[in-house]
Amino acid sequence: MRKIPVKKNCDVEGCSKESKKTVSREKAGAAIKEAGLNLSLKEKVTKAHLCADHYRKIKKRLKKDREIERLRWG
């Protein structure tokens, strides 16, 4: 059987664009919520797929997260 590449769509509620980036559900969920949006993920899913637009929207927040972690551990 031939493998068909699965095209994932953005996991942000109401968005049906093709996903470009994968972010851990925990980080993406928090950042998306801060942006006033919701993820439409099932309980067991640990990765969130985001389209380019939504990834750009939360990218800054993700970076801020990393900096906080660095301060905490450094």
The binding site for Zn ion (CB under 5 A) comprises 10, 12, 15, 17, 51, 54
Q: How far is CA 29 from CA 4, 10, 37, in A?
A: 29, 13, 9
The number of beta carbons lying within 10 Å of the beta carbon of residue 11 is: 25
Identity of the residue, 12 or 39, whose beta carbon is nearer to Zn ion in the bound complex: 12
CB of 52 to Zn ion, least distance (A): 8
Q: What are phi and psi of 17, to 5 degrees?
A: -80, 160
Identity of the residue, 25 or 54, whose beta carbon is nearer to Zn ion in the bound complex: 54
Identity of the residue, 37 or 71, whose beta carbon is nearer to Zn ion in the bound complex: 37
CB of 62 to Zn ion, least distance (A): 15
CB of 74 to Zn ion, least distance (A): 33
Which of 50, 61, 44, 46 minimizes the C-alpha distance to 21? Answer: 50
